[in-house]
Structure 1
Amino acid sequence: MTAPTTTGRLAGKVALITGGASGIGQACAVLFAKEGADIVVADLSDGSKTISLVEAEGRKAVAIKTDTTKAEDNQAAVDLAVETFGHLDVVVASAGVASVNRSEDPASNLVENLDVEKFTRVIDINVTGVMLTDQAAIRQMLKQGTGGSIINIASTAGKIPLAGAAPYCVSKAGVHMLSKVLAVELATRGIRVNAVGPGYTRTPMWDVDEDSPAGQVAMSITPMGRNGTPEEQAQACLFLADEKASSFMTGQMLHPAGGQFTG
């Protein structure tokens, strides 16, 4: 597959990416850098690899250790963007966790047996964490008065009920609705808020071959019959980050999902 030609679609922009040390977040950082953006990598994990990849594209990047469930950490990441690059234009809220440990007894993940702490941990990270990231970014974007684009990473699991994955499904449905509410609140103030709902995508969270038992179940609801890539998800995020390409789009969720919602 030939790589898409870069056109400087984000030239002069600054993007804050939570969960940017790996997976979809890292792919967004690299693609956005190719398109001219400087990057802030906010992650609990070491972001040095992402920084190197961004710098290889000729852009600048900084990393900050960030627990997105803490308001002060999100504010520190936004402050770093402004202190380092002068402004903040794009946010990708990609930090998140799965609710299912495939080494566990599957019955333990059914709602009737679910440990409440497991449920609240996923909600705290996947919903409250996204809200706090968005909140800190919105305050800065409103202060700047130059608008911006916020992209929250949800999932097709926010629309497809998966037995044994209640925390994840509920959390991603929450991200979808959070994005819609914020879009309405900010529609007249220059900030667009959208979501990307990936289907099964090969990341550290979903390192599953298509022909494995779990993979076969996943492919049964994926007409294209394969896992997606982080780079494919990043392309959807780039579209939403591009203020020209998606200027009239807010409150929407794109689904790079191999055809899961063709029916």
Structure 2
Amino acid sequence: MIRIPFTKMHGCGNDYIYVDTMSHPIADPVAAAIAWSDRHKGIGSDGLVLIGKSSIPEADFSMRIFNADGSEAMMCGNASRCIGKYLYERGLTNQEEIRLLTLSGVKTLQLHVSNGIVESVTVDMLEPVFNNEEQFIGSRATGKGTFVSMGNPHYVIFTDNVDQVGESGRVLENHPAFPQRCNIEFAHVEADGTIRTRVWERGSGITLACGTGACATAVAAALTGKAGRKSEIVMDGGTLTIEWCKSDNHVYMTGPAAFVFDGNIEI
């Protein structure tokens, strides 16, 4: 048996198990994600995140994300913020700007540090994409949603009933319009201008927050004239600030990251 150290972290309640694979490689991350994410028989999480060395000089570190069902995700905004906090506060870097290699490109993390503590992180999520035939077959879509890819596919539906997430999310995730399955957001613009959003994440089901989902929601709101280019996205687990910058067309996500506990698990 091998004992693997891990850290449980969350961003607005979106919780993952983090392993530093530079010190402790994981031979079968798919099996580990399924077993460890089980909230009754395992550690319990929305998935497993592997922190590693970058394979290219344009990035400092790498991130791989495996959902609770073992499927590999392209990107996770909440996890990227947590990695920034982990790397800085665990002494793996002293840089307050970190370039992170993901399956959807290199994301730049800007750490907001006070007295050695990372209080929040802003992530450059790059440009949104609206026509991705590998992820979305528009002619076969149903409903009145907006497709936005933030490196991973999202379908945002504005509605007065965001609580339909449990009823409709699973069905829409697997709709034929989405060849790679899809993350589904149900959103409502509140009287104060904030956007209440609930998320069905591809491979994980209902989660308390989704960083890429918050970005997709803010972009969809701006596209449809429901909001400006900067929004507060209020999810079950907390609030993220999203700005779709006009000058470079990039989406910037700012929010917190938090440690929960450290532990060891045998494999």
TM-score normalized by structure 1?
0.32
Q: Point out the structure with the larger helix share.
A: 1
Q: Point out the structure with the larger strand share.
A: 2
TM-score normalized by structure 2?
0.31
